[in-house]
Chain A
Amino acid sequence: MAQYVLRRVLIAIPTLFIISVVIFAILALAPGDPLAQFALNPAIPESTRELIRIQFGLDQPWYVRYVKWLTALVRGDWGFSFSTRGPVIDLIWQRLPQTLIVVGTAYVIAVLMAIPIGVISAVKQYSVFDQVATFIAFIGFSVPSFFTGLALMLVFAINLKWFPIVYNSTLNLAGWDGIVEQVRQMTLPVTVLVVQQTAALTRFMRSSMLDNLPLDYVRTARAKGLADRMVIIRHVLRNSMIPVVTLIALGIPTIFAGAIITENLFRVNGIGQLLITSIQNSDTPVVMAITFIFACLTVVFNLIADVLYGVLDPRVRYG
């Protein structure tokens, strides 16, 4: 087992290296200019913008910039953002709490909802509950978040005025009022994310349960005279959880990446919003840092999922 983990970690190093080269090359070759907004401002002529590009090192070929970026990274320096001229890593630390709170909460709620819904749907297949759950899951699947987000905003924030549309990241969470306000402003973005994520997980849970229900060991358990509830929870659910747990583990890094559209829509200052504005402003160091950390997390959680698989399923052996 330890040997297996070690081998996987060693394989991860060249993988991450290649990922970083590819991302860097794509960013470098994509068109864009950090000062494009000023392109037509006569007070900021092209010569000034050229000067600034040189200061940012953008006049050098991309491979030279890559080597510089990598050597700085090895020393633990993620560089400075072109738009704040401050360290990139500070920006990420500043954004992380909001993303973890909003996207993380949504993920936890989604998991907590999806598992029971999936189980009941499978056990009572084709019941009214199953039909409605399936219907809602397909709505969650097929309606994009920018639509659900806007619709919820229009109905619950603008017409009913139950929730704010401007997310406030400076609330004082020490008092009770602050916590209530925080829950209020999180409701809409979290709902949008929950609808989407629950949809996918429910379907997985349901089909995994359906795979297990007709199997022989279930019949054996029933034949032993175990209560139905016992059979489902102790036997079927445990076995059905194996693929779902790996799916959940693989989904954890996406929490870090934030939810680009939902965060932007509700003005949640998370990583997703940082990523998209940085891409729009050609703020390469920030984009590079976020995507690379995301790549690392994906690799790590892949490994965790694989290890978990072995723990949960004794049939799997690592060699």
Chain B
Amino acid sequence: MRSMRNVWRRSGALALLLILIIPVLAACGGQQPAAQPTAAPAQPTAAPAQPTTAPAAQRGGRLKILYWQAVTTLNPHLATGTKDFDGATVILEPLARYNENDELVPFLAAEIPTVENGGVAADGTSVTWKIKPGLKWSDGSDFTVEDIIFTWQYCADPATACTTKAVFDPIANVEKVDDTTVKITWKEPNAYPYISFVGPNGMILQKKQFEKCIGAAASTDAACQAANLAPIGTNAWKLKEFKPGDVVIYERNPFFRDADNVFFDEVEIKGGGDATSAARAVCETEEVDFSWNLQIPKAVLEPILASGKCDPLAGGSFGVERIVVNFSNPDPALGDKRSEPDQPHPFLTDPAVRKAISLAIDRKAIAEQLYGPTGKPTCNVLVVPASVNSPNLTCERDVEAAKKLLEDAGWKLNGAVREKNGVRLVVNFQTSINPLRQSTQAIIKSNLAEIGIQVNVKAIDAAVFFGGDVGNPDTLNKFYADLQMYTNGPNSADPQQYLQGWLCSERASAANQWNGNNDGRYCNPEFDALFDQLKKELDLKKRAELAIKMNDLLVTDGAVIPLINRQTPNAKVKALKGPTFNTFDSSIWNIASWSK
């Protein structure tokens, strides 16, 4: 009897559990077909909840944007991340912005100055911008060239601590020519005239609002703190509400020059959470219209995109994932002399070893298995703008050729690892902690094992690896390893600043507090000579030719091993029109022209 009661008790409990679990299971089961990317995406049966409103071009409504990082300040010059530049983009404008084809489009400027129209001095010493007449700030006051001059003064003061200071550094003076014309004079002749007041780093602040905020007051004065969170701008919307680290809501700016053609009444940028659920919010639940930077492993991203409700926007370049080769010796036995430029690496200085590594890596497998829609294999370290993407190089995997190279150079197999004169080909390979990078490390480790190079992998917290802490041994600048992997790319359509990172004079060392851009400690007089030529060359076409030459030299010399051109996609709902990918500017650079 007693045992009988126990049985009843147990089964009663079981029944209760089942009741709890069944709806969950049912819902999971319902999810299966939707997750299959093979299912025909055109079936309209799968959308019961969302009755799509007729997309007749009815203006108004709120444009909802979701970032997985939240905007924390709306003053772009004090930004701490891309999200801050983008948050400011809805309000503020530079003179010109880059479009998806890496061409400049005038925003506050009336036209792009060139040598032909007389805007750019032929000797490269100055550039003259004309602004559109009759521009107004969102408070109704006039936009003047004084505001442009002020923005330069604001950031030129080191105490303001502008994040964007570097684009203002080359300026010697900004002066008013007339009410709509401003002349920028450079400290030294500049081949590329579009450095300042262009793109996300060049947005212009209102002088009236920030006048008292030059210097330390920018961050400490109460009025300036308030201004940083609510700048007055010239773009299609003005600030309605801002909760730093959470959400920004913008409303129409009635003084916008083209206010009649702005579609949305309000714009919302919500931040936080993770990239995967951000992708789901646009592609599956359609709660938002646009979502930024979906850095998600291929296996997760592809089924989400396959829902057919959204379009991924990818293209251009988010940077090139590359392996940097250490030309100096990171042996801990050297103590203070570790990874100093004057200590040559025991085997990576041998070009055969560098080329063999590059030949052995299976870029295609890394791109297809790990990156999917977020990256393409590349042989170049300079891929954007398209005019400087070298067509000359190939980097097909060839294990036999790699083995032969090593064999001919005298590196003989001893067990599984090659050696020469007692030096064994064992490399330490470091990168930041990121599942994608660790998977890439694993593929490369097995690739190199095939040709007799043993790889010891190491993963470092991203804040440490990319942080410039002089006291920390694990930064990429110190480079206490043989190989390291990360993504980098040029920040403007002109590659000069980027190519500077392989100059002998830029080698990172204790003497410059590891501040040099050349973390591989590569030094080649031939490259330096080409760079000197580039610096003096003012003709844009010849500059592009030189840049390609330099890219080819770096890659064929094995100074750096390019792997993947990363094209991290944004996503938009199908009904939203206007968003494009963008390499050198904000993802929402043309937001004023978006519609639904």
* A residues apposed to B, CB below 8 Å: 31-52, 54-56, 80-87, 91, 94-95, 126-128, 131-132, 135-136, 151, 153-161, 164-166, 168-170, 264-267, 269, 273-274, 277, 280-282
A42's partner among B17, B165, B219, B497 (CB-CB below 8 A) is B497
A161/B49 contact (C-beta < 8 A), A33-B469, A87-B225, A166-B281 known: yes
B264-280 near A? 1/0 per residue, CB < 8 Å: 00001011111001001
Chain A: minimal CB distance from B195 (Å): 9
Known: A161-B285, A265-B277; 19 extra A-B contacts, CB below 8 A, are A31-B467, A31-B472, A32-B463, A33-B469, A35-B163, A36-B468, A39-B476, A51-B161, A55-B159, A55-B216, A83-B244, A84-B245, A85-B225, A128-B13, A132-B13, A136-B20, A164-B285, A166-B288, A170-B241
A166/B66 contact (C-beta < 8 A), A94-B244, A267-B270, A269-B245 known: yes
10 contacts between A and B (CB under 8 A): A31-B464, A38-B81, A46-B468, A84-B244, A128-B9, A132-B16, A166-B288, A170-B243, A267-B271, A269-B245
Identity of the chain A residue whose Cβ is nearest the Cβ of B167 in the assembled complex? A43
Chain A: minimal CB distance from B403 (Å): 34
A49 to B475, CA, bound (A): 15
- Count how many chain B residues have C-beta atoms less than 8 Å from C-beta atoms of the other chain: 87
Task: Tell whether B316 is near chain A: CB-to-CB under 8 Å.
Answer: no
Asked whether B467 lies within 8 Å of A33 as measured between CB atoms, the reply is: yes
Asked whether A86 lies within 8 Å of B166 as measured between CB atoms, the reply is: no
A159/B80 contact (C-beta < 8 A), A43-B497, A51-B158, A83-B72 known: no
Asked whether A158 lies within 8 Å of B163 as measured between CB atoms, the reply is: no
Asked whether A36 lies within 8 Å of B249 as measured between CB atoms, the reply is: no
Asked whether A274 lies within 8 Å of B16 as measured between CB atoms, the reply is: no
Considering the complex, which residues of chain B in the window 211-249 have a beta carbon less than 8 Å from any beta carbon of chain A? 216, 218-220, 222, 225-226, 228-229, 241, 243-247, 249
* B residues apposed to A, CB below 8 Å: 9-10, 12-13, 16-17, 20, 24, 27-28, 30-31, 34, 49-50, 66, 70, 72-73, 75, 78, 80-82, 158-159, 161-167, 201, 216, 218-220, 222, 225-226, 228-229, 241, 243-247, 249, 268, 270-274, 277, 280-281, 284-285, 287-288, 319, 461-464, 466-469, 472, 476-477, 486-488, 490-492, 497-498, 500-501, 515, 517
Asked whether A84 lies within 8 Å of B163 as measured between CB atoms, the reply is: no
Asked whether A280 lies within 8 Å of B463 as measured between CB atoms, the reply is: yes
A108 to B511, CA, bound (A): 60
Q: Which residues of B contact A91 (CB under 8 A)?
A: 244-245
Q: Which residues of A contact B491 (CB under 8 A)?
A: 41-43
Asked whether B80 lies within 8 Å of A83 as measured between CB atoms, the reply is: yes
A155/B28 contact (C-beta < 8 A), A51-B165, A267-B270, A277-B70 known: yes
Asked whether B225 lies within 8 Å of A80 as measured between CB atoms, the reply is: yes
A165's partner among B218, B277, B486, B492 (CB-CB below 8 A) is B277
Q: Which residues of A contact B284 (CB under 8 A)?
A: 158
Asked whether A165 lies within 8 Å of B280 as measured between CB atoms, the reply is: yes
Q: Which residues of A contact B228 (CB under 8 A)?
A: 84-86
A52's partner among B161, B243, B464, B497 (CB-CB below 8 A) is B161
Asked whether B229 lies within 8 Å of A86 as measured between CB atoms, the reply is: yes
A221 to B288, CA, bound (A): 62
Main secondary structure of the interface of B (DSSP, over half): mixed
A170 to B246, CA, bound (A): 10
A82 to B225, CA, bound (A): 11
A42 to B30, CA, bound (A): 48
A156 to B24, CA, bound (A): 9
A46 to B31, CA, bound (A): 48
A44 to B78, CA, bound (A): 12
Identity of the chain A residue whose Cβ is nearest the Cβ of B246 in the assembled complex? A269
Asked whether B245 lies within 8 Å of A155 as measured between CB atoms, the reply is: no
B273's partner among A46, A131, A264 (CB-CB below 8 A) is A264
Chain B: minimal CB distance from A65 (Å): 15
Q: Which of A37, A41, A269 has the most CB of B within 10 A?
A: A37
Asked whether A43 lies within 8 Å of B166 as measured between CB atoms, the reply is: yes
Asked whether B285 lies within 8 Å of A158 as measured between CB atoms, the reply is: yes
Chain B: minimal CB distance from A129 (Å): 9
Q: Which residues of B contact A38 (CB under 8 A)?
A: 80-81, 163
Asked whether A35 lies within 8 Å of B273 as measured between CB atoms, the reply is: no
Q: Which residues of B contact A165 (CB under 8 A)?
A: 277, 280-281, 285, 287
Identity of the chain B residue whose Cβ is nearest the Cβ of A54 in the assembled complex? B161
Asked whether B466 lies within 8 Å of A40 as measured between CB atoms, the reply is: yes
Q: Which residues of A contact B476 (CB under 8 A)?
A: 39
The 4 closest A-B pairs by CB, nearest first: A269-B246, A39-B466, A33-B467, A55-B161
Asked whether A273 lies within 8 Å of B245 as measured between CB atoms, the reply is: yes
B30's partner among A48, A55, A87, A159 (CB-CB below 8 A) is A159
Asked whether A43 lies within 8 Å of B492 as measured between CB atoms, the reply is: yes
Asked whether A83 lies within 8 Å of B73 as measured between CB atoms, the reply is: yes
Q: Which residues of A contact B17 (CB under 8 A)?
A: 132, 135
Asked whether B166 lies within 8 Å of A31 as measured between CB atoms, the reply is: no
Q: Which residues of B contact A282 (CB under 8 A)?
A: 463, 467
Q: Which residues of B contact A274 (CB under 8 A)?
A: 245
Asked whether A45 lies within 8 Å of B166 as measured between CB atoms, the reply is: yes
Asked whether B277 lies within 8 Å of A36 as measured between CB atoms, the reply is: no
Q: Which residues of A contact B463 (CB under 8 A)?
A: 31-33, 36, 280, 282
